[in-house]
Amino acid sequence: MFFLLFTFLLQLSILTSSQSFIGVNYGQVADNLPAPEATAKLLQTTSIGKVRMYGADPAIIRALANTGIGIVIGAANGDIPALASDPNYATQWVNSNVLAYPDSEIIVVTVGNEVMNAVDQSLVPLCLPAMQNVQNALNAASLGGKVKVSTVHSMAVLASSDPPSSATFNSGFSDTMRALLKFHSENGSPFMINPYPFFAYQSDTRPETLAFCLFQPNAGRVDSGNGIKYMNMFDAQVDAVRSALNAMGFKDIEIVVAETGWAYNGGPNEAGTSVDNAKAYNGNLINHLRSKVGTQLMPGKSVDTYIFALYDENLKPGAGSEKFFGLFKPDLSMTYDVGLSKNSQTSTTPTTPTTPTTPATPTTPTTPATPSPVQAAGWCVPKQGVSDAELQSNLDYVCSQGLDCGPLQPGGACFEPNTVISHATYAMNLLYQTAGKNPWNCDFRQTATLTSSNPSKFLSSVANFSSRLLKFIWFLHAW
């Protein structure tokens, strides 16, 4: 009896204390956020063990001093050129943003955010030199082993992710990625990635896909490459990253989930944006992490995961859902309860944490019960109402990536109709198809969407209409 009581109390202590593998993103694109001191007190009432910032706000860093909460600070994309070219600038940056706060537990410096897929591709070759200069500055301050240096990637760095066992990094980044991974391996720093089952569901809104994304009961999906069954999208996406790292020969590099979350509200055309879904995803994710079952390729441990986000960000641009990821409201009340409070560890959507399934015989892989979301949609097209300026920007970006835009040139097979929307549609879909048909390859800053309708039919209709319109205008002019 005493042993059972002791075990129960031990488990309760583990559950209600701050848990190092559960973190949260602290975005600040808002004009109604509570004071940093109030936020620090709020975090201490939860089991959140780490906070990731997108910058290095002094007030927040000071407010988190002596709380035991780990802090990830960020150097912005705009800082990368100076950090890469001037070691002295890197030293000053470290002095101002790390050494100045000896009582705050800064654990990681992220240099840039989703640089590999940024519109400004000139930053890509500068990211690693910037990271190296920051690392050297930390080493000089005797903090090299305590504060890690990394950068954050979107899932678009993968050429494909389905099945997870076949995942590889985008070939356009091969040399850069290999050098970056060598840096991580040599310095023991994590590879940070942003997997979002939320966006995967928006490309395939079948009920079974929603259940797969929300950690709810479902038939599971079998990796045809190794026979392993996945019961949720999060594990499949994380293991795709693991497979890509392993394929490059870097099995020792730790993965950290820098962002993942689910919007509880959004625009009328944004599937799945509800309080129930957000509560189910984040609550079941937290339960899954607490179970320490791990993923199928990394069993028995929880991947450090930063949930997006601490608060709503009412000034954030883009799709309507971008403003509604917050776990807490500006008045510090919970948007919905996912069991993070130390005072009331409530269970969220009642689903048992999934367990890695023993692989089937590799020679006879099983077909997935349902197709992967990335297989469901056929084409990437612009959303309605997107401006010509945004379309032109998308067109310029695609054609700058080394893809063949020759058919769009005068005399090319796809030059007609010679309109921005026609050329942009061709280019955006070209990138989506070439990059592996992943949902995140059809984002274009929320100006694109996936469709099962062949866009060539639409463009043909546009061309026919344009031709008829020109003939009608010519007739009126002649008349």
Catalytic machinery residues: 114, 259
Are the CB atoms for 359 and 56 separated by under 8 Å?
no
Q: What tokens appear for 75 in the block?
A: 């150097």
Type of residue at 292? K
**C-alpha dihedral (289, 290, 294, 295), degrees to nearest 10:** -40
Give the SS3 label for residue 106. strand
Task: In whole angstroms, give the CA distance from residue 365 to residue 350.
Answer: 31
Give the SS3 label for residue 326. coil
User: Which residues, in sequence order, are CB contacts of 363 under 8 Å at separation 6+?
Assistant: none
What is the largest distance, in Å, between two alpha-carbon atoms of the chain? 101
Q: Phi and psi (nearest 5°) for 74?
A: -130, 140
DSSP states along 196-239: -HHHHHHT---HHHHHHHTT-S---EE-TTT--EESSHHHHHHH
DSSP state of 121: G
User: Which residues, in sequence order, are CB contacts of 264 under 8 Å at separation 6+?
Assistant: 273, 274, 275, 277, 278, 279, 324, 325, 335, 336
β-strands 229-230, 221-222 pairing = antiparallel
